[in-house]
Amino acid sequence: MRDNMSSSAFNTWFAPLEVVDYADEVLVLRVKSQFVVEYIEENYIDLLSRAIWRVFGENTRLEYRVLIDSTSGAGATYPSTTATRSPLNAGERTFVDRNWDSQLNEQYSFNSFIQGESNRLARTAALAIAKDPGRTSFNPLFIYGGSGVGKTHLANAIGNAVVAANPTKRVLYVSANTFKLQYQQAAQQNKIPDFLLFYQQVDVLIVDDIQFFSGLKGTQDTFFHIFNHLHQSRKQLILTSDRSPLQLHDVEERLLTRFKWGLPAQIERPDYALRRNILQYKMRQDGMQLSDEIVDYISQNACENVRDIEGVLASLMAYSTLMDHDIDLALARQVVGRLVEVQPKSILMEDIMGTVCEYTKISEKAVQGESRQKDVVRARQLIIYLGKRLTEYSLSEIGATVHRSHATVIHALNTLSDQMEYDKVLKRDAEKLESELRK
């Protein structure tokens, strides 16, 4: 397990587990809480099942014993919700088993795929395909982008929407690696015709991580024939990749040409607004409440992909539950620092001056002048206050930005701090400006 996940995830979820019994092909693991059981079942059960079956045998069943009394070791036992059948040969089932299994992840839907500028094109095209698969000009839909931006989520959302609207449609989700293994097994067993026949029956074919076809001539040749048959039959193809068709290497030109027939749609790294919306959606799902300060901090720093946001939120929830600790900004900083590389933003006094002047509609010349008008003084005080909070500048350097002395800066800081105790509008403005500058 340790070799297949981050050290922080392993230490949080698996290091504390204990094997308390193994008899009659039933393995019993002791866990600290029901929350741990639910989290493992939802996020790691496939990986855990593979490890258990490899060590203890393919017929082993898993049970959890939730510790109730640490002194006596008494606990409540819960069976795992996972099937007892080994998943080691799961890739073979899709063309051997005639009982259709779409292999879709039912948790992925359009409702849980939050739209933003970085994914608008891909999501809009996906919705059109879901309503009329194979009949739009988006065939194939080639979704590409970095790891964790939502490609697999969106592809599965299309499949689930199609199945919900028309249960008779044969939708199939398959990873490129699984397709490769299926092809190799079919070739070894002289069952290529059966393999091709199965895939030619599909109405909507979703192939995830198509970049892994690179350098696999036999796999590419076979997929080329499947692609042609489905496309000519007006069946829908949805492909995902970590790069655009133009950047794929060791893939036959005839395949690359077909990948570009429909719509190559990029999903970019989520921007701040989308990260915040995703975080708030996940919080509602999990019944969590975090302060705006914590939400802003996570949104600003867990910025590479959606998985970073989910990982931070899960770790916060786990730490709070297992350690009985309130979630505050200090804890958020600690968790984020362990999971993502926090790059401190360098904020200049010029940035603060420009942002405050634009927000208050007061010119820089007026702020630096001698005016004692209330709105000008307020803008000047905000610049000083934010300079003290967000930069490493000395008070004299902050004062120089607005042409004021060291003593005037101190007076402005004290005055503004007192006013914010009772002036909610002023406090809101200061918080909004700080959040904007931290982005």
Q: DSSP states of 130-157 as a string? A: HHSTTSSS--SEEEE-STTSSHHHHHHH
The mean pLDDT of the chain is 83
Structure tokens at 46: 């496939």
For residues 382-409, average pLDDT: 89
pTM: 0.56
Greatest mean pLDDT among 82-86, 96-100, 283-287, 375-379 lies in 375-379
Q: How many CA atoms lie within 13 A of 383 on its CB side?
A: 35
CB 32 within 8 A of CB 43: no
Confidence band (pLDDT; 50, 70, 90) for 341?
low
For the residues of 102-132, what is the DSSP string, one character each?
----TT--STTS---TTTHHHHHHHHHHHHS
Instruction: Tell me: pLDDT of 17 over 50.
Output: yes
Closest CA to 274 of 179, 149, 145, 358: 149
Who has greater pLDDT, 287 or 56? 56
In terms of C-beta density within 10 A (0-12 exposed, 13-18 middle, 19 or more buried), how is residue 424 classed?
exposed
The pLDDT, as a whole number, for residue 127 is 95
CB 138 within 8 A of CB 107: no
pLDDT per position as a tens digit, 219-257 = 999 999 999 999 988 999 999 999 999 899 899 999 999
pLDDT per position as a tens digit, 295-307 = 887 877 776 777 7
The pLDDT, as a whole number, for residue 110 is 94
Confidence band (pLDDT; 50, 70, 90) for 151?
very high
The answer as to CATH 3.30.300.180 being correct for domain 2-79 is: yes
Q: How many CA atoms lie within 13 A of 121 on its CB side?
A: 13
Q: Which one of 1.10.3720.10, 1.10.8.60, 3.40.50.300, 3.30.450.20 gives the CATH number of domain 272-339? A: 1.10.8.60
For domain 349-438, give the CATH number: 1.10.1750.10
Task: Determine the topology of domain 90-266 in CATH.
Answer: Rossmann fold (3.40.50)
For residues 158-165, average pLDDT: 94
Instruction: Tell me: pLDDT of 325 over 50.
Output: yes
The pLDDT, as a whole number, for residue 96 is 35
78 - beta bridge partners? Answer: 64
Percentage of residues in the chain with pLDDT exceeding 70? 90
Backbone Cα Rg of the chain:
28
pLDDT per position as a tens digit, 172-201 = 999 999 999 999 988 888 888 888 888 988
The pLDDT, as a whole number, for residue 141 is 95
| Distance separating alpha carbons of residues 201 and 235, to the nearest angstrom | 9
Q: Where are the domains of the chain?
A: 2-79, 90-266, 272-339, 349-438
Confidence band (pLDDT; 50, 70, 90) for 107?
confident
